[in-house]
Chain A
Amino acid sequence: MKEYFLKLTDKIMAQLKDGEHLKVGFSGEKSQFVRFNNAKVRQTGLVEDLDLSVDFIFNNRIMSCGLTLLGELDSDFDLVMAEINRMRSEISELPEDPFIVYPENKGSSQESHNGTLLPFEKSVDALTPAMQGVDLAGIWASGRIFVGNSNSAGQKHWFATDSFSLDYSLITPDEKMVKATFAGSDWNQSKYEKFMANSIEKLKMMEKSAIKIKPGNYRTFIASAGVRDLLGMFSWNGISEASIQQGQSAFGKMRNEGVKLSPLFSVSENFSHGTIERFNGNGEMAPEKLSLIKNGELETTLVSTRTAKEYNKETNFAGDGEYMRACEMATGKLSQEDELKVLGTGIYLGNLHYLNWSDNTGGRITGMTRYACFWVEDGKIVAPIENMRFDDSIYNIFGDKLEAVGNSLDYHPDVDTYGGRELGGIHCTGVLLKSFALKL
């Protein structure tokens, strides 16, 4: 597919006239999806998609378009040129844009990760037997994802990877659940079967009757899957420089009022794991590592080149949305074996659910506990708890209530498939909190 991308974009670039600039994005997938309910197949199918985006710049103005390609060179060239010609005819009507990010050539790149995937015709037979005897709901997604970027300055980037994920929930007869994701690039049947057997074993812990706890502030351990969701909120009116400048960010207090988080908390962007392309939609290459919050202090926000121009900042080549693409949290000292012991008496939260800012600029988040969540006494699990609503501030969770941070990172791949299968994920660990506010 890389060759097709290069041929098509070269042909398009050759059509540019004086004063015109172009940035082209290319993406697609060849994927299988199998949806499971009650460890049986609910829906199954394949999707092949191929899309192109174009930023057309002329006379200090910019327009953009995106379209589905057919995969036939001459037809696709005609489709794209029809869109470019439409933009040529409309662009002079638009206001000038003082913050256009013009294409540059700072060097091209290519990265391909070829995995060993289950053939599509073998997936259901390979997956389903190991999940028999339990109630499982989930989604299998597998196949190749590719992303390209080129521009009229001659720069070309390419990233492609094979990957699979089985993201699932196991459910007891009285509807308590555990959640797991088996993901990778090289399929290993026996590893999968062991992973599934381990999940089924964990489900047995949920068979005790759930207890109801009262709203209040509890000593709490949040496992890494829950921390992933909290860190995910940083990408929504959080770590973005534009968001801070426009008065929308939860991190405004750190920037403007000198408020700090806990010295135990650090988070950065780290592209060295190779799970997602380093280049952004403008074709700019992000630094391999970028410290965002170090020992509780805001070192830098994510700054796109457009934002840098608008607010006179230095770009760190974030994407236009300024969200984290390769989030990694720093580890602490708490070992997995000691999590319950150090928690003592309190709550162990395996996952969180449906987070939202309840007071965005105040830094307060609400959401639910979900899946493997337990009441713990003297370092021992007593029973699962009924799900509770929390509402607490990041300035508590990652600030003065943060007592300890886990000493090993878990990788949580992004299994979202809105529009298409996502790349990347979050590396993080669990956190022990002196207090966590449960409200309902």
Chain B
Amino acid sequence: MFDIKNALSKIKVNAEWIGLREVRESTTYHMIRDGKPQANHTGSTHGVMVEVLANGQFGYFGTHNLTDTSIQLAAEKALEQALLASKYAIYKFDQSARPVAKGEYQSPFTMAQNTVSAGEINQLLLKANNVLKVSDKIVSVYANAIITNTDFKFVSSNGSDVRQNFLMTRINYSATAQDSGVTQSRSGGTSGHQIGMEALNEPVILTDCKKIANQAVELLTADECPTDTMDLVMAPDLMMLQIHESIGHALEIDRILGDERNYAGYSFVRMHDFGKLQYGSNLLNITFDPTVSGELASYGFDDGGMKAKKEFIIKDGVLVRGLGGKESQIRSGLPGVANFRSSNWNRSPIDRMANLNLEPGTASFDEIISSVERGVFLETNRSWSIDDYRNKFQFGAEYGKLIENGKITKTVKNPNYRGISNPFWNNLSMVGNTDTFEVHGTPNCGKGEPNQVIRVGHASPVCKFDDIEIFGGA
């Protein structure tokens, strides 16, 4: 059995700082499509990232081989990489980039992973498939359950000792309807939470399956979403994407420092914007909050050893803080957050979002709808694209409702909208109250070179935006 503290104590290299980060993760994936099993898979990964600091430069070696000899060799090679690169270093760091962290974190759950068998999960997914098939017009359905268990340990030569365990359960389902050359899909489920097997709540899941499958059929005969400039009311499961793409990525300090320019891109936000830029209307309050119980990217410490805590990123519409971990804070001189995170043992940490939430306002859902003379209410993202400066975006939704004279009048299909981030957020005119607030998340945020995919959480109420360019399908 690999003992990370013991392994650290045995490393003999002449470095200013040494850290070991061990990640052991298993993901179990069950899927039934059209009544037939598609996958019953458990994938696991286990390894150690050895990181050293020498001459102001960090070097790393991620290894799958956990013997003492291998870990020693990894430390030596990491040191060599650091020293060779140090003469070209973009910044000379010292140990302050790796603060001492001690503590533990455990995901909240009431039912452990071993309380439900693979067979029971398959039976639930089969039932979901049956319920999703509400009509002969449903041509394909699926339901899947994904359970991830992550053990994270971090120790360092300056005394860090962190242990974190995450249990995450997702269930997703979808129905595709087809008739007379028209195809429409609706999906549902829990996009991502830290939760145990209590997430596999059969009555709730089957009720929602029936609802979304009926909506898929309904969309077949719905009118095309009108093309117009009008008000846009967004459900929390669509707000998730809007926050992620046009606030989250734009405010990552490593992007603003240029690290990401060859891949995902830059940002329209500049260093001098912090404390000044009116990012959105004064109704916009965005928090970085890895302390929300059960949200997908909650944790106790980031991978650099910073203790996680809630911070306002945008307060009353004004940009006040960036999404940057300790290294970015040192390089930029800007206030940041504990978001220096990696996807696995074989990747080095970079600035990531974690939980980025839009704080609830005061408007009820009925008040929002009744305030709209002409607009649409959209649910569930189905298409997303944004430019490398996080400016010009275009997003699409699965399901739309036309709003006319303060009332929802009919369903519309293929709704899309586009805009530019800063003016878009300044058109935020109503923010829903806590009754409209939902917590979502996604495990699929890609960034970094080498590439990393990571889990993020986004919570939001229903929101209304004025005068948005909205349009329909092909």
Residue of A nearest to B259 (CB): A37
Which of B116-124, B313-321, B356-364, B458-466 lies at the interface with chain A?
A: B116-124
Contacts known (A37-B259, A94-B122, A125-B84); A363 close to B183, Cβ less than 8 A? no
Q: How far is the CB of A365 from chain B (nearest CB, A)?
A: 9
B474 near A362: Cβ-Cβ < 8 Å: yes
Q: How far is the CB of B105 from chain A (nearest CB, A)?
A: 23
Q: Does A308 contact B (CB under 8 A)?
A: no
Q: Does B111 contact A (CB under 8 A)?
A: no
Q: How far is the CB of A50 from chain B (nearest CB, A)?
A: 5
Contacts known (A65-B43, A355-B385); A44 close to B394, Cβ less than 8 A? no
Cα A94 to Cα B181 with chains together (Å): 36
Q: How far is the CB of A353 from chain B (nearest CB, A)?
A: 6
Cα A38 to Cα B260 with chains together (Å): 11
Contact string, A345-387, partner B, CB cutoff 8 A, digits 1/0?
Answer: 0000000011111111111101110100000000000000001
Contact string, A53-93, partner B, CB cutoff 8 A, digits 1/0?
Answer: 10000000111111111111000000000010010001001
Complex partner residue of A68 from B41, B47, B262, B416, CB under 8 angstroms: B47
Q: Does A45 contact B (CB under 8 A)?
A: yes
What count of chain A residues pass the 8 Å CB interface test? 93
Cα A62 to Cα B60 with chains together (Å): 39
With most chain B CB atoms within 10 A of its CB, the pick from A53, A135, A245, A368 is A368
Complex partner residue of B383 from A68, A71, A366, A440, CB under 8 angstroms: A366
Cα A48 to Cα B416 with chains together (Å): 43
Chain A hits for B44, CB < 8 A: 65-68
Residue of A nearest to B139 (CB): A247
Number of A-B contacts (CB under 8 A): 256
B40 near A94: Cβ-Cβ < 8 Å: yes
Q: Does A337 contact B (CB under 8 A)?
A: no
A247 near B140: Cβ-Cβ < 8 Å: yes
Chain B hits for A171, CB < 8 A: 258, 261
B39 near A387: Cβ-Cβ < 8 Å: no
A246 near B43: Cβ-Cβ < 8 Å: no
B262 near A368: Cβ-Cβ < 8 Å: no
Contacts known (A41-B89, A94-B118); A246 close to B140, Cβ less than 8 A? yes
Chain B hits for A169, CB < 8 A: 261-262
Chain A hits for B57, CB < 8 A: 41, 44
Contacts known (A94-B37, A98-B36, A387-B388); A440 close to B394, Cβ less than 8 A? yes
A49 near B36: Cβ-Cβ < 8 Å: no
Q: Does B449 contact A (CB under 8 A)?
A: yes
Complex partner residue of A40 from B62, B82, B89, CB under 8 angstroms: B89
Which of A8-16, A136-144, A189-197, A323-331 lies at the interface with chain B?
A: A136-144
B43 near A67: Cβ-Cβ < 8 Å: yes
B394 near A366: Cβ-Cβ < 8 Å: yes
Contacts known (A71-B65, A94-B118); A359 close to B392, Cβ less than 8 A? no
Cα A135 to Cα B347 with chains together (Å): 25
A137 near B258: Cβ-Cβ < 8 Å: yes
Chain B hits for A51, CB < 8 A: 45, 64
Residue of A nearest to B2 (CB): A70
Complex partner residue of A37 from B78, B185, B257, CB under 8 angstroms: B257
Q: How far is the CB of A366 from chain B (nearest CB, A)?
A: 5
Cα A99 to Cα B35 with chains together (Å): 12
Q: Does B159 contact A (CB under 8 A)?
A: no
Contacts known (A66-B43, A367-B385, A418-B451); A93 close to B414, Cβ less than 8 A? no
B392 near A389: Cβ-Cβ < 8 Å: yes
B122 near A138: Cβ-Cβ < 8 Å: no
Cα A363 to Cα B473 with chains together (Å): 10
B90 near A364: Cβ-Cβ < 8 Å: no
A141 near B262: Cβ-Cβ < 8 Å: no
Chain B hits for A246, CB < 8 A: 33-34, 139-140, 176
Complex partner residue of A48 from B32, B46, B65, B257, CB under 8 angstroms: B65
| Residues of chain A from 121 to 137 with CB closer than 8 A to chain B in the complex | 121, 124-125, 128, 135, 137
Q: Does B386 contact A (CB under 8 A)?
A: yes
With most chain B CB atoms within 10 A of its CB, the pick from A70, A72, A391 is A70
Cα A37 to Cα B84 with chains together (Å): 16
Residue of A nearest to B344 (CB): A419
Chain B hits for A86, CB < 8 A: 42
Chain B hits for A32, CB < 8 A: 81
Residue of A nearest to B52 (CB): A45
B39 near A64: Cβ-Cβ < 8 Å: yes
Contacts known (A40-B89, A47-B61, A95-B122); A417 close to B451, Cβ less than 8 A? yes
Q: Does A33 contact B (CB under 8 A)?
A: yes
Cα A85 to Cα B409 with chains together (Å): 57
B261 near A177: Cβ-Cβ < 8 Å: yes
| Residues of chain A from 15 to 47 with CB closer than 8 A to chain B in the complex | 28, 32-35, 37-38, 40-47
Chain B hits for A367, CB < 8 A: 385
B392 near A440: Cβ-Cβ < 8 Å: yes
Chain A hits for B416, CB < 8 A: 358-359
Chain B hits for A356, CB < 8 A: 383-385
Q: Does B333 contact A (CB under 8 A)?
A: no
| Residues of chain B from 116 to 136 with CB closer than 8 A to chain A in the complex | 117-120, 122, 126
Residue of A nearest to B117 (CB): A93
Using a CB–CB cutoff of 8 Å, the interface residues on chain B facing chain A are 32-34, 36-37, 39-47, 51, 57-67, 70, 74, 77-78, 80-82, 84-85, 88-90, 117-120, 122, 126, 139-140, 176, 178, 181, 183, 185, 257-263, 265-266, 346-348, 383-389, 392, 394, 396, 414, 416, 418, 420, 446, 449-453, 469, 473-474
Interface CB pairs A-B, < 8 A, 20: A37-B258, A64-B42, A67-B46, A72-B65, A90-B117, A94-B118, A94-B119, A97-B36, A124-B88, A125-B84, A137-B262, A246-B139, A247-B139, A354-B387, A359-B396, A359-B414, A366-B383, A389-B385, A417-B450, A418-B451
* Given contact pairs A41-B57, A67-B44, A121-B84, a sample of 14 additional A-B residue pairs in the complex whose CB atoms are under 8 Å apart: A37-B90, A40-B90, A44-B57, A44-B59, A47-B346, A49-B64, A53-B43, A124-B84, A124-B88, A139-B263, A357-B383, A418-B453, A440-B418, A440-B469
